[in-house]
Each structure stands twice: as structure tokens, then as C-alpha cells.
């Protein structure tokens, strides 16, 4: 059964490591829905969080193939346990002054925030899981979205694990 | 600095000397590190970006450097050296075109898990990324075909990188490692302190298998009525051939060896069934399809072996033993997965499996298949048949030669009709199927074993893909016996055109090939030609008796096809036997 999987990959912070990982996905026909990279808790190691689509066999192959890369230290299937997954989006939405209160209403309901206002546009920042951001975008669409930038998912297992 | 080194006589003394810290160039660090890794032969081709390295090589006598005539020759030779010796092969090339000329050879080694340390020069660090003269992003280009790669930006890193590269190349599932060294790094000086420890957190190949899985396998063997072993290159790479043979003898399980597994057990043994797959034997393929227990030892279920996956070994419980966990379940889902080094696994298994009288009916069935449909061809007195040529080479060398092949029909005939006694005596490009591989690989194998007889069997197509290396055979008196099976066409491709493309022979006629005898002679290598059995026997005898390299061309008919053959998309018991011809 094809499912969405979220995996965290701890890698040596070496030049080219992102290319090694993304290249592996590309040439083996694995899907990358989103990929985020940044520092981890340890100096010299980065954490990548990759959202991918596939069945259980594909997920198993992805993990095994990732472990073949010398710069990969650890691979964790985050979906195997309860996790917190978040992404951030910046949405530049058209807004004549008259529409601003209405848009502010949507923003407040979603506990998002307005981080900039131009003469005919507003910049909305929203943080949450993917569904929340999808919903926010749907609601802002009628006003006219001029520009949209999403970070992709970063995630972590809940609790002490 | 080198002038300050006092005269020393032996490598041992040098090693002792080099343990002392000393300020030297990156190039000298590279060469000394190679000696410390036990390197005795390097294949290479100089160029602008490796000039400092070659300058350091000028008076360096601690290992041999063979100057090939093309970088492709260098890397295939290093590959042949590695496959024959079990040590990592080393080759050096310059940046840009030098480095990109290595790509085919790196991919060849990667597909067949051959340990190589590939050293390329690159442009000055400050020029990297500017499309400088002879710049290519070789680490980027080769990322999908190397086990690991390094772009060395600081001369301080060189000793560690070189030691890690050899460690990675020759442990776990072996493979090629690339070290790209910018010109300024090979020129920079630093205090050289040899490194002999490795600290790679993410790299820890699992050698020892899970005991519970082994117990499952022992029980499965005990109850199996129709067991079969498929042994692959992993048996040879892990040095497991003796343990493998003991396992076969103890369990009395019939065994088939893949193209890269040939030599894992002696061909003469009754339990050996030949090769499986596309050009496998009737016996091996039927045994796989009928077996109730299939034990895969160090093979990767390549599609040339399995044929149509859905329908492969349909009645069998599948066991897969491999050092690379990613191979397990990649193509065929096993019932008993065993991750570990093949030699370790077999040595742990052997005391627990015993010679069994069970499955006598199965062995009788296999003997019957062997009798009914042995490998065969229609011999001729008027024409020289390629299979006959292989049989003649087999008879004269008694399975004691190191045989390398190129890729195509001659490769399959050699795999079918040459009888192997030893591991590491069969060197062929399996996974990538690289034409041009066989001849330079033979040069590498001969460098590893100067005293052994090395026979390089080629087609007329592949021979023209690296024939320039005849020069290094002549110059260095490398006594490879070069066989060219000349059918004047691209035989295997033509065979597919015959059987699958309605005999539409689109561009497989190799008219315009050189006179191979004259070609050899032009390089200073003795050349001989044979068109019938009598000439063939005489020419081959003369080749074996002549010291130094000799090329023998055998003219064979173009219509001869390799049988059995499983067409792509069919299950492996649907074999064309060639009986209709």
C-alpha cells in the first residue's frame, strides 16, 4: 500500500552530502515529496527530514540504501512512532486595505501571523502540519496569492524516545 | 626535502622511515601512503592536474607504475589486478577528460563489487567551479557509481582520506572509491604522519550473521527434498571458496554458480550444475524452477539470472545470504534473510550441517537433466567453431590459467565451456557488461601474477575498444595470450536480431576491422591467425610456447549462436535450446 513516510537521516555535515542523498532517491526511483536539512544537536552532523511516498518494501529499501552511504550515520522512520511534524509557509496575498480585516480574521483563526504589510498585499506566516498549511492556502486563494514559499516538513518523535 | 632522506634499500626500511614525521608535499604523501597500504602496482596516465604527483613519481621505485595508452585501459587494468589478487586496484588520471575517461571502468567495478582506489587530479582549488581548463566535477559525475568519494581540499586530510579509501574499498561489500585531489593540494607541503586507524561512524559492515536465522536455515536444509544453491561473486570476494566447497560436500546440495561465481567450486564436481540464467544450463535453470529450497550465497538475484521475477523459483523457500543488507529483498523477497560475510556465515554453518542421504531422488533427477541436455554445439570439420576453440584452450591449460573475457558471445561460450578449478581465475565484466574490459583486465591480472598463464579471450568488437593497450604488453613484456574470436560481426547483438528482431541486421556487421595479426605486429606483439582446427591447434601451441605477449586470431562463422537462451521477459525454464538449427 502506497503511504506517506517521514524519515529523519542523520548525516555527516560534508560538502555534497545532500547531493548523495537526493541523488540516491532520484536514480533508484524513490519519491521525494519534501526534504529539509539543517543542523542537528551535534556539531558536524546535519539532520535531514524527508517525506516520501511508497509501500513498505520501498521504505525498507530506502532505509537500506541510505545506510550504504558512508556519510549517513542514522536513519529513523519517524512514522513508526507518534511524531510532531511541522512546516512553515510564507504566503504573500493580495489585499486592498478594505480586505485586510477579513484576511486578518482568517489569520487569527489559524493562529498564523501577519509579518509584513504592503500597500496592496500582506505577508502571512503560518506554522503547522501539512494539512493545516494546505487549509490556510485554500482559504487565502480567493484573495489572490501572489507568492508562496513552503519549507517542507521537519519532524521529531514525541516524548523521550 | 627528499634529498635529506638517507639511502634505504628495502620497502620495510622505508616504511620504518616514513613513520617518522616529516614535512613533504601532498604528492609525496600520496605515494608514501600508497606504499603503506601495500600497493605494488599503479596504472595511470599523466596530465596537467597530476603533474606534481608524476613529478614525485619520477624517481619513486617503491611500486611499479604502468603507463597505459588510455585512461580506460588504466582503470580496467586496475580492476583486473584487483579481481585476480583480491587487493584494491589503484589508478591515477588527470582532471577533466582524464577523469571522465575513467567513468566506464568505475561503473564496471561498482556493478561487480570490485575494490578500487581511483585517484584523479583536479584544477587548483581556487579555480574549482569556474569551468576552468580541463575541469570536471568528477566526484559529482561518479557519485552514483562509487562506494564513496572524496574531494580533498586540505593537504592535512590526505593521509586520513587515503587510509579510509582503502578501508572502504576493501571491506564489507567491496567497491570503487574515488579521491579527487586539486593541483594545489598535491603541491602543498605539510608534516606527514601516517594514519592507520579509521573512525567512520556511519560505516560498520556486519560480518557476523544472526544466529537464529542460521538455525532456521539448518532446519530448512534438514527437511528440504529438492534443495539448490546459487553461489555468486560474493563467495569469491570473501575468500569463502573452501568453506563453500565444504558446505556443498557436507550437505550434498546441487550448486549453480553465477557468471561472477564461476570458480567458487571446481567445475569437475558432480554437484555443480553450471551457470544459471539467460545463458545458463538446462539443468541449473530447471533445478531452480523445481527446487523447494533455494539458498542464494553472495549473489544479488540479477535479472540476467532470474529472468521474469514473477515466476522465478516458484516452489522454493528462499534463503538469501549477503553482506549488503540492501540486496536482501531488493529483487526477490527471502523467507530466511541472512546478513553477513559469506565466509563467516559458511564457517558458522558447516559444523551444524551434515552429509545427508536425503534427496537422492532429486540428485538423480539432476543427473538425468545433465545427461538429457548437456551443453552442446554442432561441431564442424570445415569451419572453426568458437565453442571448440574454448574447449581447446581449456584442454591445453587444464583450468589452471587466469581467463579474462570481454563481453558478448565469446564471454558466454567461455563461461560455458571453460572448466574452472580455482577462484579468482575468471575475470569478466558481469553487471555492466563492458566491452573493452577483457584485454586491459588481463594486463592487470598478469601484473598481479607475473608467473601465471593469463589468457584474454575477446571478440573482434571488444578487442577494438582497448586495442591500444597492445603497446603496454609489448613495452613491458607482459606475456598475456590474447585470443580474438573473430566472427566479423557484433555477435551477441546480431544473435538478438536473429532471434527477436526477424533477422533485421541493423549495423552489427563489423566490416572494416583491422587485420588483427598486423595490428598486433604494429605494436611489436606477435600475431597468429587460424581458420581451421589444424591451424588453430598449431597457432595456439605456438602462442603458449612463445615467451611474451601473443595475439591469436580465430576466424569463426558469424551464424553461430549461444544456447541455451532465455529471452527477456520469459521465466528461466523457457529456454531456446538451439535444436532447430
DSSP of B542-562: HHHHSSS-EEEEEE--TT---
Give me chain B's average pLDDT, please.
Answer: 95
CB contact B157 to A (< 8 Å):
no
Detail the DSSP E strand segments found in B340-473.
Answer: 402-405, 426-427, 454-459
Q: Give me B248's grid cell.
A: 556443498
CA distance A4 to A24: 18
What is the per-residue pLDDT across B192-217, written as a single tens digit (0 to 9) for each? 988 889 999 999 999 999 999 999 99
Residue B359 confidence (pLDDT): 82
What is the pLDDT confidence band of residue B20, given thresholds at 50, 70 and 90? Answer: confident
Residue B479 in contact with residue B446, Cβ under 8 Å?
yes
pLDDT tens profile B222-250: 999 999 999 999 999 999 999 999 999 99
Report which of B176, B184, B124 is spatially closest to residue B150, judged by C-alpha positions.
Answer: B176
On whether any CB of chain A is under 8 Å from the CB of B325, the answer is yes
Q: What's residue B508's pLDDT?
A: 97
In this complex, is the C-beta atom of B397 within 8 Å of any C-beta atom belonging to chain A?
A: no
**In contact, B162 and B179? CB cutoff 8 Å:** yes
Residue B348 among the catalytic residues: no
Prediction pTM value: 0.96
Q: Which of B62, B134, B383, B488 is catalytic?
A: B134
Catalytic annotation present for B134: yes
Subunit contact B143:A20, Cβ cutoff 8 A: yes
Distance of alpha carbon B457 from alpha carbon B410, whole angstroms: 7
Give the 3-state secondary structure of residue A74.
strand
Buried b (16+ CB within 10 A) or exposed e, B412-437: bbbbbbbbbeebbbbbbbbbbbbbbb
* 8 Å CB contact of B326 and A65: yes
pLDDT in tens, B500-529: 999 999 999 999 999 999 999 999 999 999
The per-residue pLDDT for B200 is 95
Marked catalytic residue, from B1, B13, B20, B133: B133
Fold of B211-373: Rossmann fold (3.40.50)
Does the active-site annotation cover B183? yes
- Provide the sign of the torsion angle of the four alpha carbons B536, B538, B539, B542, taken in this order: positive
A60–B329 CB contact, under 8 Å: yes
- Candidates B326, B331, B337: best to mutate against A (most CBs of A within 10 A) is B326
Encode pLDDT of B174-197 as tens digits: 999 999 999 999 999 999 988 889
In this predicted model, what pLDDT tens digit does every residue of B133-154 receive, in sequence order?
999 999 999 999 999 999 999 9
How far away is chain A from the Cα of B325, in angstroms, using its nearest Cα?
Answer: 6
Confidence tier at B581 by pLDDT (50, 70, 90): low
The 3-class secondary structure across B54-111, one letter per residue, is HHHHCCCCCCEEEECCCHHHHHHHHHHHHHHHCCCEEEEECCCHHHHCCHHHHHHHHH
Query: CB distance from B198 to chain A under 8 Å?
Result: no
H/E element, B22? strand B22-25
> What percentage of chain A reaches a pLDDT higher than 70?
100
Residues of B in contact with A23 (CB under 8 A): 143-144
Q: How far apart are CA B410 and CA B219, in angstroms?
A: 42
Residue A73 to residue B201, Cβ atoms within 8 A: yes
- Pick from A70, A73, A75, A76 the residue to mutate for testing the B interface (most B CBs within 10 Å): A70
The percentage of residues in chain B with a pLDDT greater than 90, rounded to a whole number, is 93
How far, in Å, are A155, B117, B173, B357 from residue B214 at the CA level? 38, 34, 20, 21
pLDDT score of B357: 58
Q: A38 pLDDT band (50/70/90 cuts)?
A: very high
Chain B residues 114-143 with a CB less than 8 Å from chain A: 139-140, 143
Confirm or reject contact between B512 and chain A (CB < 8 A): no
pLDDT, mean of residues B353-375: 90
Band of pLDDT at residue B93, cut at 50, 70 and 90: very high
What confidence score (pLDDT) does residue A24 get? Answer: 97
Nearest CB to A70 within list B151, B173, B200 = B200
Distance from CA of B202 to the nearest CA of A (A): 4
| Count of other CB atoms within 10 angstroms of residue B342 | 30
User: Does B202 contact A20 at a Cβ distance shorter than 8 Å?
Assistant: no
Q: Report the gap between the CA of B190 and the closest CA in chain A (Å).
A: 23
Is the reported ipTM for this assembly greater than 0.85?
yes
Catalytic residue among B87, B147, B174, B183: B183
Contact A70 B148 (CB under 8 A): yes
- CATH code assigned to B11-192: 3.40.50.970
Q: Which of B41, B38, B139, B26 is nearest to B92 (CA)?
A: B41
Residues of B in contact with A68 (CB under 8 A): 147, 173, 324, 326
Under a CB-based contact definition with an 8 Å cutoff, are residues B402 and B445 in contact?
Answer: yes
CA quadruple B313, B314, B317, B320: dihedral, nearest 10: 40
Give the gap in angstroms from C-alpha A14 to the nearest C-alpha of chain B.
10
Least CB–CB distance from B325: residue in A11, A24, A64: A64
Q: Tell me how far CA of residue B498 lies from CA of B487, B504, B512, in angstroms.
A: 15, 7, 22
Alpha carbon of A27: minimum distance to chain B alpha carbons (Å): 8
Chain B residues within 8 A of A74 when measuring between CB atoms: 202
> Chain A residues with CB-CB distance to B under 8 A?
11-12, 15-16, 19-20, 23-24, 27, 57, 60-61, 64-65, 67-74
CA distance A39 to chain B (A): 17
* Percentage of residues of chain A with pLDDT beyond 90: 95
CB-nearest partner of B143 from A15, A23, A72: A23
What are the two backbone dihedrals, phi and then psi, of residue A84, each rounded to the nearest 5 degrees?
-105, 125
Annotated domain spans of chain B: 11-192, 211-373, 386-562
Tell whether B38 lies on the interface with A, counting CB pairs under 8 A.
Answer: no
**Per-residue cell: A153:** 516538513
What fold, for B386-562? Rossmann fold (3.40.50)
Chain A residues touching residue B201 (CB < 8 angstroms): 12, 73
Cβ-Cβ contacts under 8 Å, B324 against chain A: 68
CB contact under 8 A, B326 and A23: no
Interface membership of B528 toward A (CB under 8 Å)? no
| Chain A touched by B170 (CB under 8 Å) | no
Same fold yes or no, B11-192 and B211-373: yes
Judging contacts by C-beta atoms under 8 Å, the chain A residues touching residue B168 are 70
Interval B491-499 mean pLDDT? 97
| Arithmetic mean of pLDDT, B265-285 | 97
Is B332 touching A (CB cutoff 8 A)? no
Nearest to A61 among B139, B203, B326 (CB): B326
Per-residue model confidence as pLDDT tens digits over B404-435: 999 999 999 999 999 999 999 999 999 999 99
**Longest Cα–Cα distance in chain A:** 57
* Environment class of B512 (CB within 10 Å of its CB; exposed 0-12, middle 13-18, buried 19+): exposed
Higher pLDDT, B364 or B18: B364
Residue B219 has pLDDT above 60, yes or no: yes
The C-alpha R_g of chain A, in whole angstroms, comes to 19
- SS3 state of residue B223: helix
Amino acid at each position: 500500500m502506497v503511504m506517506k513516510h517521514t524519515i529523519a537521516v542523520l548525516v555527516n555535515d560534508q560538502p555534497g552530502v545532500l547531493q548523495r542523498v537526493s541523488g540516491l532517491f532520484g536514480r533508484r526511483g524513490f519519491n521525494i515529496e519534501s526534504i529539509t536539512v539543517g543542523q542537528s544537536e551535534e556539531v558536524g552532523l546535519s539532520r535531514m527530514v524527508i517525506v516520501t511516498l511508497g509501500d513498505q518494501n520501498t521504505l525498507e529499501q530506502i532505509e537500506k540504501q541510505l545506510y550504504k552511504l558512508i556519510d549517513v550515520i542514522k536513519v529513523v522512520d519517524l512514522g513508526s512512532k507518534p511524531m510532531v511534524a511541522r512546516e512553515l509557509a510564507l504566503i504573500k496575498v493580495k489585499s486592498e486595505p478594505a480586505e485586510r480585516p477579513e484576511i486578518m480574521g482568517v489569520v487569527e483563526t489559524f493562529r498564523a501571523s501577519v509579518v509584513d504589510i504592503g500597500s496592496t498585499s500582506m505577508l502571512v506566516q503560518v506554522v503547522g502540519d501539512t494539512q493545516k498549511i494546505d487549509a490556510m492556502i485554500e482559504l487565502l486563494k480567493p484573495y489572490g496569492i501572489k507568492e508562496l514559499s513552503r519549507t517542507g516538513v521537519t519532524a521529531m518523535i514525541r516524548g523521550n524516545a | 626535502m627528499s634529498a635529506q632522506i638517507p639511502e634505504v634499500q628495502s620497502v620495510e626500511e622505508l616504511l620504518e622511515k616514513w613513520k617518522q614525521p616529516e614535512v613533504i608535499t601532498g604528492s609525496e604523501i600520496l605515494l608514501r601512503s600508497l606504499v603503506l597500504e601495500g600497493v605494488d602496482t599503479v596504472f595511470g596516465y599523466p596530465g596537467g592536474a597530476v603533474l606534481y604527483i608524476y613529478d614525485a613519481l619520477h624517481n619513486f621505485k617503491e611500486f611499479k607504475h604502468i603507463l597505459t595508452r588510455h585512461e580506460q585501459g588504466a582503470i580496467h587494468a586496475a580492476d583486473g589486478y584487483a579481481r585476480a589478487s583480491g587487493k584494491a586496484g589503484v589508478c591515477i588520471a588527470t582532471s577533466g577528460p582524464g577523469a571522465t575517461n575513467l567513468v566506464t571502468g568505475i561503473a564496471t567495478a561498482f556493478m561487480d563489487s570490485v575494490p578500487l582506489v581511483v585517484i584523479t587530479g583536479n584544477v587548483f582549488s581556487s579555480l574549482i567551479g569556474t569551468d576552468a581548463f580541463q575541469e570536471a566535477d568528477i566526484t559529482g559525475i561518479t557519485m552514483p557509481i562509487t562506494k564513496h568519494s572524496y574531494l580533498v581540499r586540505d593537504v592535512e586530510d590526505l593521509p586520513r582520506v587515503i587510509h579510509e579509501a582503502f578501508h572502504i574499498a576493501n571491506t564489507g561489500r567491496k567497491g570503487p572509491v574515488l579521491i579527487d585531489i586539486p593541483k594545489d593540494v598535491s603541491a602543498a607541503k605539510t608534516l606527514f604522519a601516517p594514519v592507520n586507524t579509521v573512525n567512520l561512524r556511519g560505516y560498520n559492515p556486519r560480518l557476523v550473521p544472526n544466529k537464529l536465522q542460521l538455525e532456521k536455515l539448518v532446519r530448512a536444509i534438514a527437511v528440504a527434498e529438492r534443495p539448490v544453491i546459487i553461489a555468486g561473486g560474493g563467495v569469491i570476494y570473501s575468500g569463502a571458496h573452501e568453506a563453500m566447497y565444504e558446505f556443498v560436500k557436507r550437505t550434498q546440495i546441487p550448486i549453480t554458480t553465477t557468471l561472477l561465481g564461476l570458480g567458487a567450486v571446481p567445475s569437475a564436481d558432480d554437484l555443480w550444475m553450471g551457470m544459471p540464467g539467460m545463458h545458463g544450463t538446462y539443468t541449473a535453470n530447471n533445478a531452480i524452477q523445481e527446487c523447494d529450497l533455494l539458498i542464494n550465497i553472495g549473489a544479488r538475484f540479477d535479472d540476467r539470472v532470474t529472468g521474469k521475477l514473477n515466476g522465478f523459483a516458484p516452489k522454493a523457500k528462499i534463503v538469501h545470504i549477503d553482506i549488503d543488507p540492501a540486496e536482501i529483498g531488493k529483487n526477490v523477497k527471502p523467507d530466511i534473510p541472512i546478513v553477513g560475510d559469506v565466509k563467516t556465515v559458511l564457517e558458522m554453518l558447516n559444523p551444524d550441517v551434515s552429509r545427508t542421504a536425503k534427496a537422492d531422488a532429486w540428485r538423480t533427477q539432476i543427473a538425468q537433466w545433465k545427461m538429457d541436455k548437456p551443453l552442446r554445439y554442432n561441431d564442424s570439420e570445415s569451419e572453426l567453431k568458437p565453442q571448440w576453440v574454448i574447449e581447446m584452450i581449456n584442454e591445453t591449460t587444464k583450468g589452471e590459467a587466469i581467463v579474462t573475457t570481454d563481453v558478448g558471445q565469446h564471454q558466454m561460450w567461455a563461461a560455458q565451456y571453460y572448466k574452472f578449478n580455482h577462484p579468482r581465475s575468471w575475470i569478466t565484466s558481469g553487471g555492466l557488461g563492458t566491452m573493452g574490459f577483457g584485454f586491459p583486465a588481463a594486463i592487470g591480472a598478469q601484473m598481479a601474477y607475473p608467473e601465471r598463464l593469463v589468457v584474454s579471450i575477446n571478440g573482434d568488437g571488444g578487442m577494438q575498444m582497448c586495442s591500444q593497450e597492445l603497446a603496454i604488453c609489448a613495452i613491458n613484456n607482459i606475456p598475456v595470450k590474447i585470443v580474438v574470436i573473430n566472427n566479423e560481426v557484433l555477435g551477441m547483438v546480431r544473435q538478438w536480431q536473429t532471434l527477436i528482431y526477424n533477422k533485421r541486421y541493423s549495423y552489427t556487421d563489423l566490416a572494416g576491422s583491422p587485420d588483427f595479426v598486423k595490428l598486433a605486429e604494429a605494436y611489436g606483439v606477435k600475431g597468429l591467425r587460424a581458420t581451421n582446427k589444424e591451424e588453430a591447434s598449431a597457432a595456439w601451441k605456438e602462442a603458449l610456447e612463445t615467451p611474451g605477449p601473443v595475439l591469436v586470431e580465430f576466424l569463426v562463422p558469424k551464424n553461430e549462436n549461444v544456447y541455451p537462451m532465455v529471452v527477456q521477459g520469459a521465466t528461466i525454464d523457457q529456454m531456446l535450446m538451439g535444436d532447430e538449427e
